[in-house]
Structure 1
């Protein structure tokens, strides 16, 4: 399935044979530090909030963005991946925490290929 919207992601996750947790990391774009003189300016993503949600806890990007806004933390990009359960059960809290920590580490190292990224308006982003 080709995913082009947040809602399509929710449908794809709901259709998986095993239950899914969505791992969400909200990040801000900051100028990349320590660029050599004369190098073009680039941004790096810095995670500022993360959460896991069951597929059924989410319905629209707008509602998720409102929930994030209520937390009072500015963000520019939402990065998402999934964590599959086993034998009809969702991943346990320890597995979820470990996966979230791994996700945050990957973002900090610029390893973004495993994540879908959405801007603040809910548009799917591509990596350059």
Structure 2
């Protein structure tokens, strides 16, 4: 399935044979160390993360609203999914490990396996590092 919007992501997760857990990493774009000015290269810095069963996420507006309640500043949210097994959601330890991998990948600029959405819920196409 081609994912062109947050709604497509939710539909793709719902269509999977096994239950899906969506992983979210809210991140800020900051100037790369040692660079200043408007044209300075940007790096992503994760500021918070969350995970939810795909059925608990109804829209990007809901997700952004929950993030706003926490009060953290963010520029984009990186998203990946983790499949369960035998009709059950992934184990908590597996989810925690996947979130840590995701945060490490963002810090290292390895974004090609995640989807990125801006604050308005538009799909972004980040350039590989």
TM-score bucket of the superposed structures, by smaller chain: over 0.9
| Counterparts of 2:44 and 2:115, CA distance in 1 | 14
Give me the whole-angstrom Cα distance separating, in 2, the residues matched to 1:21 and 1:63: 16
**1:6 corresponding residue in structure 2:** 6
CA RMSD, 1 decimal: 1.2
Distance 2:53 2:26 in 1: 17
Q: Name segments (4+ residues, structure 1) moved above 2 Å.
A: none
TM-score, length-scaled by structure 2 = 0.93
- 1:119 is matched with 118
Secondary structure, in 3 states, of the residue corresponding to 2:40?
A: coil
Name structure 1 gaps, 5 residues minimum.
Answer: none
Q: CA deviation at 1:34?
A: 2.9
Alignment of 1:43-122 (within 5 A): 43-122=42-121
**1:4-54, Cα deviation, whole Å (9 max, x unpaired):** 11111001001011111000000000001135x9xx511100000000000
The two structures have a TM-score, normalised by structure 1, of: 0.94
Can you give the 5+ residue segments of structure 2 that lack an aligned partner in the other structure?
none
Q: Number of aligned residue pairs: give it.
A: 125
Superposed displacement of residue 97, structure 1: 0.3
